[in-house]
Structure 1
């Protein structure tokens, strides 16, 4: 998606340790106009899949998932990173490691929001090592729902996550795949 790539070049910042900061428009301050274009593109890519629910993980994926859900006219379910008093009843759980935060989380979704009749599209902001996406895929599998695929805004193609998830037969559509980054020059290079 050329619009997204140009925005990454213009407003993204490359930090040491393979960190791409896009917090000015994607995952802290959110550019809703850009999100709308992202949502339209995910709808185009998955238009024929009869999606009934969109699944994401808190927190950065929620905004993108919500805007995308408007184009599918379906609800969004987000996996919480901790048990809270407002989650009652039985839950599906999975363990994920966050590349960004360097922590391991148990993610949780109430069983009343995912089930065998659902056709689930996963939406997330980043794909790096793949742990979050694998954890979300596990939740879908445990629920008996059908996993349609995953829509990723930015994939770090030089890390193993995308390849690993695709090797399990999951359809992954990434709108911008970063092939390499240079923290000295700030340059970002994309896969065509």
Structure 2
């Protein structure tokens, strides 16, 4: 009985060790995959040659309701030869047609939009999903714009008297995205310089 108990204990210990090893290997692979995916998303909004660091590893977390949530969100910092080059803000459009829309908005140090991409959404396929770059080029219409181009009060869709197109048969989705980008620019104008300073979280 003692031998059997010792054997059972050894098998149990081996099993626990094996599970822990598999979990560690799996966790490492998942984290590596997530880091790779994040970098690919950042490369989609940051022009090649605009930065020399890895912005996916240069991150601050910020908290401001203008970014669409009360939860802290990551801000990725792009630098060129150590100098500030651009920020990629994570912003939520909470008023999408089918729910919140998560965006990445890249803004250079002059406050000009370098690129916008949708990270996550639940908008209607074939209609609201035209916000995706693979569906249409609508999202590229923000590139080169700033709070002065167009004026701040025109940062909405044409149906509301703004400067940006809506989709045929869909207004709510592009309106939500356009206003979210404008709020990201508002936040950047106020906090852009400070975000390049080291800190764990802004409130």
- The TM-score, its normalising length taken from structure 1, stands at 0.29
Give 1 or 2: higher strand fraction: 1
Per the normalisation by structure 2, the TM-score is 0.28
Q: Which has the higher helix share?
A: 2
